[in-house]
Amino acid sequence: MTDFGVTPQGFVRKEFATLVAEAAGRARAVFGEDLDLSPTSPLLKILQVTAAEDARLWRRLEDLYYSRFLSSATGEDLDRLGEDLGFDRPHLSATGEVTITVLNPQPGRVYVLPEGTVLITATTPITAFHTTATVRLGPGADTADVGARAFVPGPGGDVGAAQVTAVDPDFQKHYLNVAPPAALTVTNQRPFSGGASRADDETYRGRLLGRSRTMWTPAAVREAVLAVPGVVDVLLSDPLGGVDVSQSYFGAFPFDQRLFSDERRLGEPYFFSVVVAHEFARPWRTDPPGIVAGMFEQVTAAIERVRPVGIHPQVVEADHIEVGLRARLVTLPGYDTQSVVGALTERLAADIGALALGGDVLFSQVMRALVEQPGVSDVQDLQLRRCPPAFGRITLGQVTFAADVVEAGPGESLAMGPTEIAVFTVDSVLLDLEVTPR
């Protein structure tokens, strides 16, 4: 006998064929074994209709059973589980397109607006956006269209047409060299949208499954930091909060005779490190505070709500390592080389952008992205590149020595340290793709 319903292996539903066979067996038990249940029998048609209704009921029971688990619930059922945990489905950031124009540009001058340029509205309160690509303006091309995204998720970013009107004065003062008579103007021809939408089931499920059920723990701090918009990943170093297996004497002494590390003295403040990797377009610090709060200020404020008295965080920015590649591509006849390169860079930006802290850039992953691109016939001399280490970089352990060589050997991957995260931009100077038609 097969168990149906709730079993140790989960919920097992009865399929349509099983329900018809059981109904036919009950009918023969009542009316006799010579009962006509051939394919053209009216009684069989009635049994099939009732079995179809029962099959839908069993499917509904299965859905109801799995709707009570975070790993399998979907839609409104997942929303209800999130409400029980006190974490509603988050909103997305509104997106749109803006037109940036430079007025009275100086002859021979190119004005570069990097990705992450802060744009603001003329409304009160001010809504801030940031560009999603680099813009270059000059006398020969004084206008450009570029995508933009709201800093704060939610419907507040769904502004109407012609509402985004300027570059943030603070950002322009500190990061852009645009002096009179030159000036920048901004407008959006179409409204921004998407802020009223919410995260998809898989993204929301991942946030719920990783949600801490404890307070005053590293897990609670990690959860609070990841809830800050723009945070990609976080790494906590809590040297006195648990077993530190990185100690040189770990495993080399009797457990009842020596401590893992020094004990905290009573009354002394205790510090732990929080390494934050964030979206490259968002500013790390804003001093003095401006329209857009820096990631440092936002993360510090989030930790303040969960840290115990006497325990203080040291919030530091992760090492955002710019990576690129050098390769020679052979394309098939009939394919536009610029379109092929554009599609490849977008694919690489998506793949590398999904890496977390310490995630290596694998040679095989990059090679797969190149050879899977339609129109690419062959990939030759592929070598991965990375920026050299920056002065004053952070580390939570042994510092890996790196020379000035930024190009890996043939077939080698780019190894990232625990506090490093790979960043790939489509206009990176480390990107060198030579395209040769076949």
Q: How many CA atoms lie within 13 A of 65 on its CB side?
A: 15
The mean pLDDT value for 234-261 works out to 54
Q: Do 298 and 345 reside in the same domain of the chain?
A: no
Query: What does the pLDDT look like over 292-308, one tens digit per residue?
Result: 888 999 999 998 888 87
Left, alpha or beta for 239 (phi > 0: left; psi -120 to 50: alpha)? alpha
Residues 92-105 have a mean pLDDT of: 94
Whether residues 123 and 178 share a domain: the answer is yes
pLDDT at residue number 209: 84
Q: At what angle do helices 295-304 and 218-226 cross, to 10 degrees?
A: 140
Q: Decide if pLDDT at 258 tops 80.
A: no
Is 120 contained in some domain? yes
- pLDDT on residue 265: 59
383 lies in some domain: yes
Do residue 335 and residue 307 come from a single domain? no
Residues 324 and 430 in one domain: yes
How far apart are the C-alpha atoms of 200 and 48, rounded to whole Å?
Answer: 38
134 backbone dihedrals φ, ψ, rounded to 5° = -80, 140
| Judgement on whether residues 241 and 307 belong to the same structural domain of the protein | yes
* Tens-digit pLDDT profile for residues 311-369: 788 898 998 888 999 999 998 888 888 888 888 988 888 888 888 888 999 999 999 99
Is residue 268 very low, low, confident or very high in pLDDT (cuts 50, 70, 90)? Answer: low
112 and 139 in a single domain? The answer is yes
Give the mean model confidence (pLDDT) for residues 391-416: 63
Between CA 369 and CA 361 the distance in angstroms is 12
- Dihedral (C-alpha) 221, 226, 228, 233: value to the nearest 10 degrees? 120
CB 186 within 8 A of CB 164: yes
Tokens of 184: 């920048």
- Helices 337-353 and 363-371 cross at an angle (nearest 10°) of 150
Six-digit token string for 243: 């077993």
Residue 87 falls within a domain, yes or no?
no
Q: Is the pLDDT of residue 173 over 60?
A: yes
- How many domains is the chain built from? 4
Question: Do 389 and 427 fall into the same domain?
Answer: yes
Residues 361 and 290 placed together within one structural domain of the fold: no
Domain boundary among 187, 220, 238: 187
Q: Could you tell me if 249 and 261 lie in one domain?
A: yes
Evaluate if residue 241 carries a pLDDT over 70. no
Residues 279 and 374 reside in one and the same domain: no
Domain extent at residue 327: 320-437
Beta bridge partners of 236: 274
Backbone angles phi, psi at 77, to 5 degrees: -65, -40
From 257, 294, 302, select the one nearest 278 (Cα to Cα). Answer: 294
**15: in domain:** yes
Cα–Cα distance between 281 and 286 in angstroms, integer?
14
Task: Please give the share of the chain, as a percent, with pLDDT higher than 90.
Answer: 33
Count each helix (H run) and each strand (E run) in the chain, helices first. 9, 17
Domain annotation covers residue 90: no
